[in-house]
Structure 1
Amino acid sequence: MTPNDMFNIAKLVDSEIKHTNYDGIVITHGTDTIEETAYFLDLYYKMETPIVMTGAMRNLSELGYDGLSNIVSAILVASDSQSKNRGVLLVMNDEINAASEVTKTHTVALDTFKSLEFGPLGVVDSSRVFFYRSNTNTKPKITISKLTKRVEIVKAASGTDSSIINFLIDSKVDGIIIEALGRGNVPPMMVPGIARAIQEGIPVVVTSRCPKGRVFDTYAYQGGGYHLKQLGVLFSGNLPSQKSRILLMLALESISTNDELNQYFEN
């Protein structure tokens, strides 16, 4: 799956919903990138019709195949009136999660998809749908007619320098996501590359490699969150790197200044 594939799915479902009065839509998808496609669709859609994504962690030849159960649960959620206006949902292992919150947490476990920070929106129990809470994230209003921007992710680790960032700048990338340490900090050796990117008009967004918690401009040392904020880096809140990339790709189709971009990430 590529972002362009996600865009084509979005346009296909959009055209179907506009011409037919569906109660809900279910989309089956491979589990490796399902959370990215779900979030892409969540940003794209402004309709009340439920869109539910699902998949399977075991294939048909394995014991305990979960695909059929997941499809049935997804259909139950998509056809339930409570699911309207909740954005795109991901239903697997009888749990209902929001596209903006859910992530794959285990390589093979059936209960791999979790909203680690907040827990599931609800569950499917004995063919009934139960919602516990509303979504936490405010969905940005983004309208796109094309998808042309290239955004890449750089992961920070002990001793990481600016080499990859400089390569991306020279490759004419449109945006850079930094999966930073802890609260949103990077090794000092990454700072020259980040500063160069911003000077050349390439937006830089900081996320955390921690699976839970928000990034914030707490530390003022070179490479700390406060220092990066002063350079013009954007902060992604608790949105992980793979979803921050999707958000930046879509946002860059209509805006380019940091002030305008900041409104999407501050939410």
Structure 2
Amino acid sequence: MKVDPELNAPRPVFDGDELLALRPDIAGLARLEVRNLFNMPSEYMGPEQWVLLQRAVNAELAREEVAGVIVSHGTDTMEESAWFLDLTLDSPKPVVLVGAQRNASEADFDGPRNLFNAVRICLSNEAREKGVVICLNDQINAAREASKTSTSEVATFKSGDFGFLGQVDPDAVRFYRSPARRQFLPLGEDTLPRVDIVPSYAGADGILIRAAVEAGARGVVMSALGCGNVPRAQYDAIRDVVACGVVVVIASRVPNGRVFPLYGYEGGGRSLADAGAVYADNLSPQHSRVLLMLGIHRGMDAKAIARLFAH
């Protein structure tokens, strides 16, 4: 991003070669080849772009001389693209998503440093078999766990209760743990199904759940309350759409902790599980949407999808 003088506001302007030109010292580390797929705000990314990105990254990873792949991406939806790639790529080589929280018109633009660090990660033997990672502010996050936690701070990506995978220091790239719950879901040829996220809140009813299904959603992710509970009116809607074959996944709007079927009242977790809803473990609503989308894409029923989330 850079400030457009006509708009007096930042917008995407850099292509890959221009980004590389900001850190000429990268040439002393590795030879980089640029592929310009999109130049758009990350808010414009969606399933169609994810598939094109996955195919492009997969093709590069298949080349013997390629050590790793770096994806420059806006931070607002970076975690969804990263998780989609992590689920659909099957390679030991590192894939690193990077972006910036400050635009290139600011004196302390963080993009060049993040790009330089991504190159160093790709060259690190420790980065192999770690899957797709996000690296900003020297911190390495696993795709499954990474979430944007601040609207503007450079240290925006966090990994919840379990912490970063590692750190990029001036003298070395160091990993201190490996992601333990990775899985692979190969992409088919069919279009990815529509899956919507519906929030829970005090006084919420079932209108948005029913509207999502009427609009063509084959799955619904609930951004539920606490450890996986919803108001009574939402429970009624969930029970009805599950009975019609729609897969409903219960995640939580709470940033940390697992969801699990605990309470027995209507709308409590036990009643939702009894109605056929699937529990998302500790995945965020946005991560859950990606996994549910791929499960449906692979032709899985609710029981098979439940096993995906329990993996």
TM-score interval for Structure 1 and Structure 2 normalised by the shorter chain: over 0.9
Q: Does 1:152 align with 2:162?
A: no
TM-score, scaled relative to structure 1: 0.97
| 1:126-172 deviation line (CA, Å, top 9, x unaligned) | 14101111114x12231122333000000000010111111122222
Deviations 1:55-83 (A, max 9, x none): 01001111211011000111101111110
Query: Larger Cα Rg: Structure 1 or Structure 2?
Result: 2
Out of 186, 204, 221, the position equivalent to 1:177 is 221
CA contact (8 A) 1:50 1:86 kept: yes
Distance 1:3 1:79 in 2: 29
In structure 1, the partner of 2:77 is 33
1:241 is matched with: 285
Percentage of matched positions with identical amino acids:
37
Structure 1 gap ranges (5+): none
Residue from 52, 62, 66 that aligns with 1:22: 66
Which structure 2 residues correspond to residues 64-103 of structure 1 after superposition, within 5 A?
64-103=108-147
Pairwise mapping of residues 158-169 of structure 1 onto structure 2 (< 5 A)? 158-169=202-213
Asked if 1:214 is matched to 2:258, the reply is yes
Q: Matched residues in 1 for 2:192 and 2:104: separation?
A: 37
- Cα distance in 2 for residues equivalent to 1:251 and 1:190: 24
Contact residue 116 and residue 212 of structure 1 kept, 8 A: yes
Report 1 or 2 for greater relative contact order, CA contacts < 8 Å, sequence distance ≥ 6: 1
Pick from 98, 102, 105: which aligns with 2:149?
Answer: 105
**In structure 2, the residue corresponding to 1:190 is in which secondary structure?**
helix
- Counterpart of 1:140 in structure 2 is 183
TM-score (normalizing by structure 2): 0.84
RMSD over aligned CA atoms reads 1.0
Distance 2:69 2:273 in 1: 41
The Cα shift of 1:255 comes to 2.1
- Runs (4+) of structure 1 exceeding 4 A deviation are none
- Alpha-carbon distance between aligned partners in 2 of 1:170 and 1:150, rounded to the nearest angstrom: 11
